[in-house]
Structure 1
């Protein structure tokens, strides 16, 4: 049986392939320390886990669920955005729970892109933006993010591009993979650019509450709902990556379009996970404070490791990664991380998996216990 032509437009996800290699080294008995993946190793709150455990006896727990999620989950998400971002959305019409924000990237692309439409994608950026764009038959148009620009879009450079076929633009702030923050002024500039060029801007925003004392949402800009959607997730904020709980927020028109796709692709999120998510979203300020204290200790240690490698980094970043520039004259990012993997038994992500502008950079995840980071330092 011949596979679909669209499969020629994508490759297996880098981490899917690389982690097989890492697992094979572990199976050989090598003491690999994995600093490549942003999968939280900390548990959800006890209250969240307890909620999941106790709803399993509920008669509703094992039935099909609404495509739009429980009303109380939507309310909890809307309340979370109001309390944490000062953004108000209608829980019934301007918000849609997702099985993780990653599926939202596909749903949004299917809802708004025709074959041949063009999509602005950050370089460096999350590789899924490009692969999904290719899968739906649209054309990726890479736009540069650089250290000199603070890893922010250069609007003047974007305006010099032929934008006549551009329908969608992906951004991600706090940025993945660099950790760069975005200002209100820049968000206003992006919304004005989107309105002037009839482009839907989507902010992928899962790192808002990790080592970030000023969480931002693109929906904080007045009038943003006309031309913007925002994805968010409980994965990083509440250590629930495996639970697969996310959300997309925007205008009723845009959310309805996404729902048309989603309702044809799943049969609702498991009831117990929805109930646990509600509990997580109601966490108090102590949860965020304690989470940041753990990540701050880890980041200080990670800076020590990066110093050992002679790499440079910005201390004023957000999120759960350290993005580091290799010393001048270093080998390519992928050659460098392979040498570290086989010589020191430490896996680090090469910047090139996020785009050509990632060459010369490497990325460390903070989802590693402090003792393991100290061990990694000792290996150098």
Structure 2
């Protein structure tokens, strides 16, 4: 296991941190990818025949590259070894004795059966940070139950219900692959970094636990507290036009002539109202007594919204982008995912980057250190670093060959 997650490159803020990743699909691996972005050396443990099932997910580009696997496993080393083999398990245990973090999303019962649960791992490495991710959490009636993004994050938390119009034949699905997974993953990476800081101060290992469901409940905190305030409001999913019923005229969206939307978020409202009226060509609305103050606009919101709807329907989203650019309040255009590939701000921030001579495009984690963007590196081929990783913990060429002959190692 190499000391830096960026061989030959600039060391990141977690350079020298060594991570053993016992995780598959997207939630845990996305946390490992962020740690690798930040400079940690992350060794991904995979089965020598099947690898991470994420490799087989139907997200292939024409060039044969699996973009979702690349997104959540970039920058790592791959050790393809069979944990069911005593020799393979011993090899992983030796890795654990030399690592700083064990990152896993395997079910607790499976870990315990193999002797890789927290208690067993701490016998090998008392000061290790043990980070465990689950679908629903580690206590309660559903502790250890498996989960995926669509079930644990979107459905159980109420997010899907709030996004599903009445009468729709199916619950509104997630808007992006691995949406909840990657949000949970980056929060887990931050928690792991905090645990490493604690260990540096105290010398003691820390257990970090995270879940898809927990992240979703956190994301729904505003809606949950709305339900505390008015329990009856939470009994049914909101109607399709519920936002119009509760919206202020200046914190809502308006359709444009080309069927796009402008979103206004004028907070506080009164200081920005004159600027909006000038930008949309309706200076008369500044002093109109029905709209002159926020209180009056809310009192007459149906009329105010109707007038603004008529105004915004006259121009395209591009025209409104130009006209609103001088407005003092906050606004934006509702973009589609493909629009982000052409977004000048995305390009300036380097949020999306091509690598391998343009064969692969990946999205960065949204953090910089000292104004530097961590370099992106491709995901490993299955077993690509098996020899290198085992040699780093003392395996000889002969021992590695024996593991390969036995079928425990790819």
TM over 0.5: no
Name the structure, 1 or 2, with higher relative contact order (CA <8 Å, separation 6+): 1
**TM-score, with structure 1 as normaliser:** 0.27
Structure of greater Rg: 2
